[in-house]
Amino acid sequence: MSASFDKDKESLVKGFSPMHDHPLQHQLFYGSSNAVNGSSNLVSSPSQSPAPSSPSMVGYHMPMYGNNMARYPVQMNLSQKLQPQQQSGMNHNPLAHHSLSAPTGNSPVSPHIDLSTLNSSQPNTPYLARQLSYAQMSRQSASPHHHARTAAALARGTTLSTAVTITDPNNPTKTLTGLGAKRGGRSTEGHDNEGVPAKVNDPNPLQSWSSLDMGGMGLQNLSATLFNAYEFLTTLYINHNNLTYISSAISNLVNLKVLDASGNKLTSIPPEMGMLVQLKELLLFDNSLETLPNELGTLYQLETLGLEGNPIHSALKSLLLKEGSQAVIVSLRENCPVGMPPPEREWITVDGDSSNDDPNDKITVFSYNILCERLATASQYGYTPSWALSWEYRRELLVPEIVGWGADIICLQEVELGEYENYLRDDLKKLGDYNGAFWPKSRAKTMGEKERMVVDGCAVFFRSSKFNLIEQQVLEYNQSSLKRDDFKKTADIYNRVMTKDNIAVMLMLENKHTHARILVVNTHLHWDPSFADVKLVQIGLLMEEAIKFAERHLQPTPESSPEAPVYESATQLPTIICGDFNSVPSSGVYEFLSRGSVKQDHEDFGNHAYGAYTTEGLTHDLNLRSAYSSLNELPFTNYTPGYKGVLDYIFPSANTFSVSGVLGPIDKEYISRQVGFPNPHFPSDHIPIMCELVLKTPAKEKKETPSVFAKN
């Protein structure tokens, strides 16, 4: 078990029940108590029992996080309140308005028959016709390398003598004969025009092709090399062989969009196949499958699931034929058991300045983008169960996570105005004796009261037992940009910067014990990678305004103690800048903050013009350094299928603070099994970051050279 920071503060949020088999999961999806009793599980085979280590063992309860941090209390009578969330969580699926319940028979497993032999009570749906059509094409593609030979013939412009409609695996819109309609566009279970090979003159030979046909070869095993060296594959045919299993290493083929494993002897599918979130077609016709692992529920982009010719579970088969592939995936996802939580994150000690051991000079800082309710949509996070995406569920995890680490200063991004006023402000005051300051994004000023409540912004909380608030101020980037005369002359300011309403919140705090003043800044920069220039402009404006704000507080206030220090300049005033910067460590934003300057022709500016910023460059005099720079940053702070990397930082002034410790990364083994966040254990697509800072003694207050911080 790894060590954690500040163990004596773990009891702050103890006393709540564990999350395993959360009733909200069943209530949100089924709207009844039957699911809680297990009667509505459509996908698990009663003939299989979980292994002793399986997280689905009955009666097993586990904590959601390390540090003994349990959940925030929640009302269990949420069926009416959660109904809109349930509906919105399935809006991305055109079939989701149908009920997922299925008729039950005397036996949960159907006999091994074709779907076409179903009795007359089975409705003749388009999904049944599609299964039969796809299965028929699969059975007529059993010859060795059928798809590869077809593609070669198409490339030569020749015609094979065949009555079977076949398609080019690299371009599914092409058909070899005129016997079938071309597949174009996108339907409920259609096929996108994916898999087009890379350019022939690509210098990397592995990128000149993306489809591999190993079908019809009588293979009994697949080499591990296939899964470890061909991650670039988008289409893989291993159909009509003698395979009895598929290795879990198939999860390495993360770019797969089409996988055909029909006509084998498979009795199970590895749960790790759920990591292949790019899959559009998964064809498993004519195997010996009775059920599917719930982990396939993460395949939110899957359009066609081929199961005809398998002795599949009757409820699962009925759902597939009545409502289609996407309904099956939704069912799998919503019924997936909550797995084991990760080990608690380690607290990593950093070699800082050890000359000051005064506990009053130690400050812990916590920063977290909590993913506001308005942005947590099923279309954006389709791999997350709707019950785990609901705000009621996520709030249960967020509050103990925020309070449980016992930080002195907390900076949160994507906090909705209504959530701050109705919940967070009071919860953090009650659970951690925090006072706070919050501003929503600029758009809130133009909205009515109801609309304003869902606008997100930035919040800063601080322990009232340790700090006094001297002044607070909001920085609206779009408005601040108009105060510069050189910006008013450039069209890019109006077209690119003024249209973004990001903000920063600045607080001047005074330590009640040492009387040292501390500038705390919390910001959330624009998200779009194609607007790197806007992010540079925003961070340039932030540093200008932060220095002006600091210069107003170099002298103690009249209410301050006579022992309060006097600072010669803003560079000597302890400063902490936190936030979601939506910028990677190689970006101009990171370079500017950590090195103190970027050139006027920095690539992030592109061809855009921003007055002196793009004629003279940007500079600032604060000596900032990322708290995680000694680790070369974390592996990631944002974790989704589309992006895994670092976007969040804490930048203390290195001439006034030393870093004594940081909150470590998420366990690698746990991460290797996760498609992305949020999930039942992590309520946001970001993870929190945290550090402990020690105020340097006066003898150590020297400005270090910028080269010390050059990491890129």
| Residue 189 · residue 325 · CB < 8 Å | yes
Rounded (10°) CA dihedral 568, 572, 578, 582:
90
Strands 235-237 and 258-260 turn out to be parallel
| Cα–Cα distance measured from residue 553 to residue 556, given in angstroms and rounded to the nearest whole number | 7
| Cα–Cα distance measured from residue 425 to residue 437, given in angstroms and rounded to the nearest whole number | 9
φ, ψ of residue 491 in degrees (nearest 5): -70, -30
For 214-352, strand residue ranges (E) read 235-237, 258-260, 281-283, 304-306, 347-349
Distances (CA, A) of 41 to 76, 86, 290, 382, 385: 21, 18, 14, 20, 15
Strands 517-524 and 467-476 turn out to be unpaired
| Cα–Cα distance measured from residue 217 to residue 603, given in angstroms and rounded to the nearest whole number | 51
Q: Give yes or no: 580 in active site.
A: yes
| Number of helices followed by number of strands (H, E) in the chain | 17, 23
| Cα–Cα distance measured from residue 584 to residue 625, given in angstroms and rounded to the nearest whole number | 15
| Residue 216 · residue 240 · CB < 8 Å | yes
| Cα–Cα distance measured from residue 345 to residue 181, given in angstroms and rounded to the nearest whole number | 54
Count Cα neighbours of 454 within 13 Å in the Cβ-side half-sphere: 8
| Cα–Cα distance measured from residue 460 to residue 439, given in angstroms and rounded to the nearest whole number | 9
Residues 6+ apart with CB under 8 A from 393: 22, 24, 28, 74, 387, 683
Taking every pair of Cα atoms in the chain, the longest distance, rounded to a whole number of angstroms, is 97
Report the first-to-last Cα separation within the chain, whole angstroms.
Answer: 34
Distances (CA, A) of 692 to 465, 523, 644: 18, 20, 25
| Cα–Cα distance measured from residue 249 to residue 264, given in angstroms and rounded to the nearest whole number | 18
Which 3 state secondary structure label does DSSP give 98? Answer: coil
DSSP 8-state code for residue 433: -
The β-bridge partners of 436 are 461
DSSP string, 635-662: S-SEE-SS-EE--EEEEEBTTTEEEEEE
> Given 213, 427, 533, 580, which residue is catalytic?
580
For 393-516, strand residue ranges (E) read 409-416, 434-440, 456-463, 467-476, 503-511
Which 3 state secondary structure label does DSSP give 443? Answer: helix
Written as six digits, the tokens of 640 are: 């989704």
State yes or no: cis peptide before 678, omega within 30 of 0.
Answer: yes
| Cα–Cα distance measured from residue 598 to residue 443, given in angstroms and rounded to the nearest whole number | 30
Of 626, 636, 684, nearest in space to 415 by CA: 684
Which 3 state secondary structure label does DSSP give 445? Answer: helix
- Residue 75 has a CB neighbour count (10 Å cut-off) of 8
Strands 517-524 and 281-283 turn out to be unpaired
Annotated active-site positions, please?
A: 580
